Amino acid sequence: MRGAQRSRLSIAISFAIVSVAAVVLFHLLRGIDVGKVIAALEAEPRWRILVSAALVVAGYSNLVGYDLFALHSIGKRDIPLRVVAFTSFTSYTIGHSLGAATLTCGLVRFRVYSFWRMNLLDIAKIALFTGMTYWLGNIAVLGAAAIYAPQVFTAIDQMPAFFNRLIGFAGILAIVCYLLWLGGGRRVVGHDNWQVQLPGLRGTMLQIAIGVLDRVLASL
C-alpha cells in the first residue's frame, strides 16, 4: 500500500512540475522573435558561440558537484553518478526557471531520490548543504570582488568604495572564522532526527571551491 501511495504521489508531483514548467516556458518564449535570435547568432564569430556553449556545459556539469557533495555529507554514497547528474540537471533547470528554487528543486529531488529510499528529511538535508555550498561560494567571490574592485559595487548600491571594500573584507573574514570554527572538532547542528554533521575543514574547502567555480562559470 505504501508503494502504491508513493507511486501516486510521485506521479502527481511529476505532473505538477511538468505542467507549471510548460506554462512558464510558454510565457518566457512567446515574445521572442526567432528571426532576431538567428540573426544575432549569425553576427557573432563562431568561436565565441562555441566558447559560450562550452561554458554553459561546464556550468551545468559543475552543478552535479552540489548534489554529490550533499549526498556524501549525509552518508548517501550508493546512488549512481548518472542518477545524481540527471537529478541535478533537471532540478536546477526547472527550479531556476520556475523560481522558488529551494521548493521546486526539492520536489524534483524527492521525485527521483525517493526511489533510492530517501525521505523528505534527507531531501531537506540536501537542500541545506547545497544552499551552504552556494552561499559560501557566493560570499567568497563577491567578497574578493568587492576588495579588488569596490567601485563596481558603488555603481550598484551607491555606497562609498571604501565601505564596499570593508563589506568584502567582512565576508572573507566570516568565511575564515567559519573554517577556524570547523577546525576545532566535530560540529553538529540541529536536534534529534534533524541533526546534521557539518563537513570538516577539508570538506568545506572543497565545498567553497564548488561554489566559487559555479559563480565563475556563470559569470563567464
Q: Is residue 34 part of a domain?
A: no
The answer to whether residue 45 scores a pLDDT higher than 80 is: yes
Interval 37-63 mean pLDDT: 89
Q: Is residue 16 part of a domain?
A: yes
Q: Is residue 29 part of a domain?
A: no
Q: Is residue 8 part of a domain?
A: yes
DSSP letter string over 47-109?
Answer: HHHHHHHHHHHHHHHHHHHHHHHHHHHTT---S-HHHHHHHHHHHHHHHHHHS-HHHHHHHHH
Specify the range with the lowest mean pLDDT, choosing from 12-16, 53-57, 62-66.
12-16
Residue 129 lies in domain: 2-23+46-219
Per-residue pLDDT tens over the stretch 125-170 = 998 999 999 999 999 999 999 999 999 888 888 888 899 999 999 9
Q: Is residue 215 part of a domain?
A: yes
Q: Is residue 38 part of a domain?
A: no
Q: Is residue 33 part of a domain?
A: no
Number of domains into which the chain is organized:
1
Interval 104-111 mean pLDDT: 81
The whole-model pTM stands at 0.79
C-beta of residue 54 within 8 angstroms of C-beta of residue 209:
no
C-beta of residue 69 within 8 angstroms of C-beta of residue 63:
no
Q: Is residue 31 part of a domain?
A: no
pLDDT of residue 210: 95
Q: Which of the four pLDDT bands, split at 50, 70 and 90, describes residue 40?
A: confident
Residue 189 has φ and ψ, to the nearest 5°, of -120, 155
Residue 196 has φ and ψ, to the nearest 5°, of -135, 130
Q: Which of 22-26, 117-121, 214-218 has the highest mean pLDDT?
A: 214-218
Indicate the angle between helix axes 101-113 and 120-148, nearest 10 degrees: 140
The answer to whether residue 35 scores a pLDDT higher than 90 is: no
